[in-house]
Structure formats: structure tokens, C-alpha cells
Structure 1
Amino acid sequence: MLLMLLGCSGQTSENKKKYSIMVMSKDNVQYIIQTDTLDGGVAYPIKNGAPVLAPPRIWYYMMVKDGNYFFINRKTEYLIRNQVKDNKFTAIDSVSVPGMKFLENYNWYHPDSLLIISWPGERKSPRYARINTRTMKASTGVLPLPAPFLPFNNMTVGFSEFRNNQLWLGYSYHYSSPTQGYGSSDTVYVASLDYPALSLKQIFKDPRSAYPGNVNTAQQNTFRDDQDDFYYMACPGIARGANPGQPTAIYRIKANENKPDSSYFFNISASPIDNHAYGMWYIGNNKAIVRSERQGLFKTFEEHYLVPHIDFFEVDLQTKTLHKLDLPLDKGTSRSCVLVENGLVYISINSDTEGNYIWVYNPKSQSLKKGLKLEGKVDYIFRLEKLHG
């Protein structure tokens, strides 16, 4: 049972740090270490970090905001707010969010307002919760999206975006069974809803790719650019949509437009990347970082997670040209691993050959250097993010 938790929001010296890094040790224990610099030096997350004695895959559905770490306890269906206090991962407050067991997408639409979306199972439409994270009060409901239909028995919401008094949702339908395995529909679905009423306005369908967005708690695939255009990547590769015959592609919704821009289609799989991709981060000046797999270096879904085979590319969203970053091969299918600040791009790399580093990329000079080193028996760097802002 969930223990009674104190409703304290005080900031300790630890959560006044600038950055949070979450790792997993080689003996499968998760740790959080907080730091003020990523540009150099050495950190010891296993020796000096706070162990996270919580659900084993908490790194996959964590949300970090203003020194707080939010996640859903799947057994109790409570959203828990945690902080690192006295180097311990400590529960501070909680709120019940019934039916939100499997978190798929989140969106901070005001400083203290959080939208989370989850599919409840049994061929039902997705559920949502709107949470005030200052008061820890929540309201829940059902999104008016068409429920899964045969031959599909489940669905995911891969992105949510608030703009122009509307909520945009990108979603997919999937089949999953012991005989068929897992796969996705051959369509990118994007719905517009009136907000805050959440009534369905229109559904747009695009057959050129599949699985728009991703589980954004684990890895980002959407952003707004300098012109306030919204970009989202569809991820049909085996590690996400499991419909690899469809290409990975980038789409957009232009600022002040009320429909996806059908003229814009950036086919990543047909570019020099020549593979599927699963992560995308905006770095400014119409450019983004794309994290892509390299086929031929892995054979199975399990190897996709375990074997170093990941490349990073800088892509120009306007010219659709690419520049491969000279980084060691990375591993881990889903990681929150790119952070942009003051014109520099910080990228965490899990390298079996060159060690675990936060690399620093300067887009102006296209130069790379090693920054903060994570020393000790670190197996994965799962999360790199700002603690505040």
C-alpha cells in the first residue's frame, strides 16, 4: 500500500543542481547523480549517486521538472512526486490517477500543469489525466479517439501538442498476440481536439509511414522550431512500430495551421542514414539531432537493446541534408540522451570501447569533444536532463 506522504515542496541543496543523470549499473541497479557541469571532469554515479529503489524500469517512464522526479506506480496507480534528499530518492507527495497504469505520453502545458496519456487495454480508447503538480490534484477522463478495431487489439498515443486552442494527438493501432507477434498499422493518425473541452474535431491519416512520436518519457521525437512549427517523427522500425517496411519519416504542422503540412515529408530511411531512427531533438537554426540504428550490427530485438549500433546525425530540416557526428557507437534502444544549452549540444554515449561520457557538440564549428566522464561500473546512461526550467 502507498504510504502517507508529506506534501513538502522545499528545495534541498541537491535538487538546486543544474543537471540530473540517471544510470544503471552492471548489476541492474538504477542511480541518479546531480551535477552543475557537463563540460568536463569525472562523476561517480554508482559510488556517489542516489540509488533508485523503485520499479525496475522507472527510467523508462520518468518525468523530471523543477527538481522533482515524477512516475506512476503501476501497482497502486498513483503518480508519485520524488526528490533526491540527503542523497536518497525520496517520495514527497502523490495523487491517484486510476486507469493510468501504462504511461505513453506526457506534456507540461503550463509550469505546474501536466497532461499524461495512457491506454487502458481491452480495445478501449486512451485515458488522460490533467494534474496540478503544485497541489497534486488530478482530473481524469477518456480521450475521444476511435478505439482499436480488428485486426488491431491495442493502440498508443505517441505525441501530444497544445496550440491554437487545440490539442493535437498522434497515435497508432497495433496487433499483439502469441501467434502474430507485434506490429502496427500502415498509417500515421493525427487528431485535433478542441481544448479544454477535448471534443474531437478532425482526424488526418497518412499512409507514408507509421507510429508517430514515441513513448516520450523515454526518448523525444517531437519539438517546436524557431518559427514555432511543430515537427514529429514516425518510428516504424522493429524497436517501436515493428512495421519496418514503412520508412522512418519526419512530418510537421506549421504554426497557425490547422492541419499537418502534407507537402513536407522527410524520408529518413531514404536519406544517407539508410536505416530506421527512434530519437529526434531540436538544436536550433532549423537543425535537429537524429538517433538512428545501423542495420547489420544487430540481428534480434534483444540485440537492438544490448549491442552498440547507434549513430547520431545532424539533419537540416529545410534542405534535408545530413551530417554524421563522429561519435562512438551507442547502445540502448530508448534514451533521453541529448540536451541543448547555450548553443552547445550535450550527448550521452554508452560506449563499450571508449567509456561512458557526456560529449559536447558545437554546431557552429561542427566540433566534438569529450565532456563529463561517468566512472565506475556504469552499464547504461538512461537519462540526461535539466533539473530546472
Structure 2
Amino acid sequence: MHARGNLITLKLIILPGLIFLFGCSEKRSDERHKYSIYTMADDYKEHISQVNDLSSGKLDPVKNGVRTYPKQIWYDLIVRDGFYYRLERKTNYFLKYAVQNNRYTPVDSVFLTEMSYFDNYQWVHPDSLFLVSFDRKLSRLEYARVNVKTMKAETGNIPVALPKSPFNSMSVGFSMLRKDKFFLGYTYHAITARDFTTADTVYVDVLTYPGLKVIKTIKDARSAYPGGANTAQPNTFTDQNGDFYFLACPGIALGNRPEKPTSLYRIKKDEDKLDSTFYWNISESIKNHGYGLWDIGNGKAILRSERKDLFTGFEDHYKVPHIEFYVLDLAKKTSKKLDLPLDKGTSRQCVLLENGIVYLSINSESGNYIWIYNPKDETLTKGLQVKDDIDYILRIEKLYDDIP
């Protein structure tokens, strides 16, 4: 383990085609907006729009938003307290941005010695971000703990069991901190030039925190691939009672073990084991695989599910409208499909809960809208319309945590 951080306040950062000279800054956006909407246009250019209302109106991200760079970030853009965070893969710099003067502007950075990507992040403190990445070349699981106020980082390795033949890679599907214990859900991959698959078992390690020493490994063979890359889409949540739920996603788009069922697991508050009284075979309930899980309160959750009869394989999974949304009743283990247009995009941060109202972004053949779902009366209405030349609404989220 070693630490590395910023030792100077003025920095010169050189990225491909761009040079940044900046000092540490806590200046956020020029005006405090409530929501961030991150979109990709049909020419693959990406934009950030900051708005105050998701319930009505029209939005043209190309005209009224700000361009991000490099050309494609896709989805791994973290939003917190008015700032944006991402890793520049070619340089290993973890960058902090704000929208200032109608520009997506870097305000600080930290060099992460050997991390060129990450597939999972977790806020372990309001100012501390924990990133996890598997390095295939060196075959080790790396972490970085970044203080986003000071932009200093500590990096090191996590001592979990590394992949062995026939597996040559691994993914961390979730990380969760509970007091002095750190939970890590992961899977192993067998990756070739033509195909990939994953192990047929759910793996969860319980580690000490902050020491990151393995206490025990939990295995469950009823499903595979616990969680998923939460930079793209969440598959876990902690409910109002403190119980932690995670989705195991063996479908084609994530685990590519479609013979296994999408399953929902629970780790109860103050326990460090799978809850033996709770297991839900989601595939049996909805007759398909699911990806994406969001808590909407009162024992209910939203699930995205693929319609396997509407796409031909992984190659067109992201671009064919084939995604449905279900409301899950966790106590009754029942599901109800929402009457929404078919959505596209394999993984998106597309559900937001505010004051008991659920906002869902839908990229459909009938247009791009933020839909509004009221769980109390189960009504669905159209909200904000996003211009049609936008291919994907990649992320909708609150800019500040103090929004209820």
C-alpha cells in the first residue's frame, strides 16, 4: 500500500489534445441547479444539462447543455455536491469538474498511480470516494481512496482471491461499507477474443475497514455476477431499515450465464451474511433477465428487464428498444410491469426518487421523455421532453445531496 496526492496547488495536466492549467477550487456551477442530465446525441457527442424541473418542458442538450470531453465518456461520470468526477484512462488522472461559464471545466485532479479504469465506486464518507479496479495485465485488484476535498489519494491492493484458469479476469459488482466492515461482491470472467462468460457463483467477501483484510468469503451458487458496474447503473441499495439488497445479474449483457436466474439477495442490518430468509428468483417472476435496481421506498423497488425476444445478441443489446420496467414488492415478492414505452440502452442511471415521486428517463421510438411515476396511486405521466436527436439519456441525478 502506498499513498500519493497533490503536493502543489497549481497543476499542469496534459490530456490528449488538451492542456489544463488550474488551481484547487471549490467553485461549483455558476447557478445552483437541482438536477444533472447527461446525454449522448446521435453523432456520439455528449452533453451535460443542469435543470430545476423534470416534470415538464422541453430540453435541447446540444443547444442549451455543455459539451463534455474527451469525445466519449459514456457513463462513468460521478456526480456529487455540484461537481463531476471521472478517470482519464490514458493518463491515470482522476479529474474533478464543474460547469462554469457554460463550460465543462476541470478544477482539480489527482494522479492514481496504476489505475486506468474502475468498474465500481462507493462513497465511504461524504468527502471520500473508494474506487475499485482489476488490472488484467498484473492480475491484481486495486483500490484508490480519494479525498475529493483535498484531491489526495491512497492506493493499494485488495487481498481477495484472484482469478484462476479457466478465468482470466474479474469484476467487482458492488462495494458497501457498514461500520468497520467492507463488503465486496464480485465475479470471475473467462475472456477471449470472441466471447466472455463468468463464474457460476455469487462471491461476496467481508473485509475489515479501513484495513481491508479478508474476514470471510460468502459463496452462493443459485445465481451469478452480484451487482454490476455501478459506474453505469446501480444494482444495489440500502433501504430505510438499513438492510442491503443486491441483484445478481447473469444475463447476456453482464454475466453471459443466461441459464442462471437473475436473483435478489439481502444482507440484513448489522449482519455479515446472506439473509437465509430472503431469496427471490426474479427471472421466474418476470420470465426474463433484469439489470438495474432502484429503491423507491416503502418496501418497493424499480427493476429494468430485457425482452430477450427483441434482440439478437450482445452486439445490438444497447441499441434496440427492448427494456421494460417493473415495480418489485420486496415483502410479497411480486412484480408489476409499468405501462411505459420500450426503452433502449443496456445500462443507464435512469431512475431518480424525490419526495416519494419516481422519475424515469426513457429512450424510446416515440421520443425521449422523463416519465413521472407516483407509487401511491400508480399513475404514469410524461414530464420533461428531451430533443429527438439525443440517442441516450445516460444519467439523471440530483446535483446536491440535500435535495430531499
Give the TM-score category using the shorter length: over 0.9
Q: 1:108 aligns with which of 99, 123, 132?
A: 123
Q: 2:259 aligns with which of 230, 245, 255?
A: 245
Query: Does 1:336 pair with 2:355?
Result: no
Q: 1:364 aligns with which of 363, 376, 398?
A: 376
Q: Distance in 2 between matches of 1:11 and 1:153?
A: 42
- Write the deviation string for residues 227-272 of structure 1: whole angstroms up to 9, x where unpaired: 110000011111001111111001010001121113321111100x
Q: Any conservation in 1 of the 2:225–2:250 contact (CA below 8 Å)?
A: yes
Q: Any conservation in 2 of the 1:50–1:89 contact (CA below 8 Å)?
A: yes
Residue 322 of structure 1 is matched in structure 2 by 335
Q: Any conservation in 2 of the 1:117–1:129 contact (CA below 8 Å)?
A: yes
- Per the alignment, in what secondary structure is the counterpart of residue 317 of structure 2? helix
Aligned sequence identity (%): 51
Q: Distance in 1 between matches of 2:59 and 2:193?
A: 44
Q: 1:165 aligns with which of 153, 177, 180?
A: 180
The letter of the residue matching 1:325 is L
Residue 299 of structure 1 is matched in structure 2 by 312
Residue 24 of structure 1 is matched in structure 2 by 40
- Write the deviation string for residues 87-106 of structure 1: whole angstroms up to 9, x where unpaired: 11111110011222121110
Q: Distance in 2 between matches of 1:315 and 1:323?
A: 7
Within 5 A, what are the aligned runs for 1:210-359? Answer: 210-271=224-285, 273-353=286-366, 355-359=367-371
- Per the alignment, in what secondary structure is the counterpart of residue 302 of structure 1? helix
The letter of the residue matching 2:387 is E
Q: Distance in 1 between matches of 2:372 and 2:291?
A: 21
Q: Distance in 2 between matches of 1:381 and 1:360?
A: 15
- Per the alignment, in what secondary structure is the counterpart of residue 132 of structure 2? strand
Residue 217 of structure 2 is matched in structure 1 by 203
The letter of the residue matching 1:74 is R
- Per the alignment, in what secondary structure is the counterpart of residue 46 of structure 1? helix
Query: Does 1:33 pair with 2:49?
Result: yes
Report the Cα offset of residue 55 of structure 1: 4.8
Q: Distance in 1 between matches of 2:137 and 2:90?
A: 18
Normalising by structure 1, what TM-score?
0.97
**After TM superposition, where is structure 1 displaced by more than 3 Å over at least 4 residues in a row?**
none
Query: Does 1:82 pair with 2:97?
Result: yes
Residue 185 of structure 1 is matched in structure 2 by 199
Q: Distance in 2 between matches of 1:64 and 1:241?
A: 27
Report the Cα offset of residue 62 of structure 1: 1.0
Report the Cα offset of residue 125 of structure 1: 2.8
Q: Any conservation in 2 of the 1:19–1:36 contact (CA below 8 Å)?
A: yes
Residue 398 of structure 2 is matched in structure 1 by 386
Normalising by structure 2, what TM-score?
0.93
- Per the alignment, in what secondary structure is the counterpart of residue 269 of structure 1? helix
Q: Any conservation in 1 of the 2:129–2:146 contact (CA below 8 Å)?
A: yes
Unmatched runs of 5 consecutive residues or more in structure 2 = 1-13
Query: Does 1:129 pair with 2:115?
Result: no
Report the Cα offset of residue 123 of structure 1: 6.1
Unmatched runs of 5 consecutive residues or more in structure 1 = none
The letter of the residue matching 2:290 is A
Residue 64 of structure 2 is matched in structure 1 by 48
